[in-house]
Amino acid sequence: MRAIRYKTVIIIILILAACFAVFRWWQGPQMLGYTVVSMPLVQTVVATGRVVTVSRTQVGSEITGVVLKRLVQEGDRVKQGDLLLILRSDEIAAQVRQAEAALTELATSTRPQVAVDLANAKLQLTQASREAARRRNLSQPSVSTEAIEQAQKAESQARNNFESVRLRSAALASGEVEEVMLRERLTALQAQFAKTKIRSEVAGRVLTRNVEPGDLVQPSRTLFTIALDGSTEIRVPFDERNLSRLALQQHASVIADAYPDKPFSARVNFIAPSIDPQTGTVDVRLIVDPVPTFLRQDMTVSVNIKTDQREKALVIPNDALGSLQGDTAVVLLMGEGKIKRQKVTLGLRGLTMSEVISGLSAGDIVLADAASALTDGTRVHINLKKTLSADQAHDPNSQNELPMKLN
pLDDT, position 88: 92
Mean pLDDT of 26-44: 73
pLDDT, position 264: 93
pTM of the model as a whole? 0.51
**What percent of the chain lies above the pLDDT cut of 70?**
82
Asked if residues 322 and 329 have their Cβ atoms less than 8 Å apart, the reply is: yes
25 in a structural domain: no
Long-range contacts formed by 64-69: CB under 8 A, 24+ apart:
64/216, 64/217, 64/218, 64/219, 65/89, 65/196, 65/216, 65/217, 66/214, 66/215, 66/216, 66/217, 67/211, 67/212, 67/213, 67/214, 67/215, 67/216, 67/217, 68/213, 69/213
Q: In three state form, how does the secondary structure of the chain look?
A: CHHHHHHHHHHHHHHHHHHHHHHHHHHCCEEEEEECEEEEEEEEEEEEEEEEECCEEEEECCCCEEEEEECCCCCCEECCCCEEEEECCHHHHHHHHHHHHHHHHHHHHHHHHHHHHHHHHHHHHHHHHHHHHHHHHCCHHHCCHHHHHHHHHHHHHHHHHHHHHHHHHHHCCCCCHHHHHHHHHHHHHHHHHHCCEEECCCCEEEEEECCCCCCEECCCCEEEEEEECCCEEEEEEEEHHHHHHCCCCCEEEEEECCEEEEEEEEEEEEECCCCECCCCEEEEEEEECCCCCCCCCCCEEEEEEEEEEEEEEEEEEHHHCEEEECCEEEEEEEECCEEEEEEEEECCCCCCEEEEEECCCCCCEEECCCCCCCCCCCECEEEECCCCCHHHHCCCCCCCEEECCCC
Closest among 50, 51, 41 to 407, alpha carbons compared? 50
The domain spanning residue 391 has which CATH number? 2.40.30.170
**What percent of the chain lies above the pLDDT cut of 90?**
22
Mean pLDDT of 369-381: 67
13 in a structural domain: no
- Of 184, 204, 228, the residue that ends a domain is 228
Q: Are residues 258 and 331 in the same domain?
A: yes
Report the alpha-carbon distance of residue 163 to residue 171 in Å, rounded: 12
Report the alpha-carbon distance of residue 231 to residue 270 in Å, rounded: 14
Q: Are residues 210 and 266 in the same domain?
A: no
236 in a structural domain: yes
Q: Are residues 312 and 383 in the same domain?
A: yes
Strands 30-35 and 232-239: unpaired
99 in a structural domain: yes
Domain count of the chain? 3
pLDDT surpassing 90 at residue 169: no
**165 contact partners, CB below 8 Å, separation of at least 6:** 114, 117, 118, 121
Q: Are residues 113 and 247 in the same domain?
A: no
261 in a structural domain: yes
Q: Are residues 167 and 81 in the same domain?
A: no
pLDDT surpassing 80 at residue 140: no
Closest among 65, 103, 72 to 87, alpha carbons compared? 65
132, with CB counted inside 10 A (0-12, 13-18, 19+), is: buried
Nearest 5°: the CA angle 43, 44, 47 is: 155
- Of 141, 170, 194, the residue that ends a domain is 194
5 in a structural domain: no
Q: Which residue has the higher pLDDT, 121 or 198?
A: 198
pLDDT surpassing 60 at residue 29: no
pLDDT, position 407: 32
Q: Are residues 305 and 377 in the same domain?
A: yes
Asked if residues 158 and 129 have their Cβ atoms less than 8 Å apart, the reply is: yes
Q: What is the pLDDT of residues 189-240, one digit of tens each?
A: 989 999 999 999 888 888 889 999 999 999 989 999 888 876 788 999 999 9
Mean pLDDT of 398-406: 36
Query: Which residues constitute the domain of residue 151?
Result: 91-194
Mean pLDDT of 8-33: 60
Q: Are residues 201 and 300 in the same domain?
A: no
23 in a structural domain: no
pLDDT, position 9: 63
pLDDT surpassing 60 at residue 43: yes
Q: Are residues 204 and 291 in the same domain?
A: no
Q: Are residues 206 and 246 in the same domain?
A: no
- Of 173, 194, 215, the residue that ends a domain is 194
300 in a structural domain: yes
**128 contact partners, CB below 8 Å, separation of at least 6:** 151, 154, 155, 157, 158, 159
pLDDT, position 335: 74
pLDDT surpassing 50 at residue 402: no
pLDDT, position 196: 92
The domain spanning residue 215 has which CATH number? 2.40.50.100
Q: Are residues 144 and 214 in the same domain?
A: no
Q: Are residues 361 and 304 in the same domain?
A: yes
Report the alpha-carbon distance of residue 169 to residue 174 in Å, rounded: 10
Strands 77-78 and 37-53: unpaired
pLDDT surpassing 90 at residue 83: yes
- How confident is residue 120, by pLDDT bands cut at 50, 70 and 90? confident
Q: What is the pLDDT of residues 263-275, one digit of tens each?
A: 999 999 999 999 9
Please state the separation of Cα 369 from the chain's center in Å: 45
**287 contact partners, CB below 8 Å, separation of at least 6:** 231, 232, 233, 266, 267, 269
Q: Are residues 115 and 169 in the same domain?
A: yes
